[in-house]
Structure 1
Amino acid sequence: MTSNRVFFNTSSRKARCARRFLQSLLRIRQRRPGSLSSEEVRQRSRRIKMAAYSSMACTVGSRRAWSRAIIFRLQSRAGRHGRMRRRCLGVKKKPSREMSQADRLRDLVPGGEALDFCNLLEETAHYIKCLSSQVEIMKSIADIYCRS
Structure 2
Amino acid sequence: MRADYKLFGDSISFDTTYRTNKAYRPLGMFVGFNHHRQTCIFGACLLYEETSASFEWLFDAFRRCMDQKLPTTIFIDQDAAMAKALRNEWLGVFHALCTWHILMNAKKHFKKDKNVWKKLSIHLTYLFYTIDSEVEFDIAWKDMLAECFPDSDFVYGDP
Report the TM-score range of the alignment, normalised by the length of the smaller protein: under 0.3
TM-score, normalising length: structure 1: 0.26
Select the structure that is richer in strand. Answer: 2
TM-score, normalising length: structure 2: 0.25
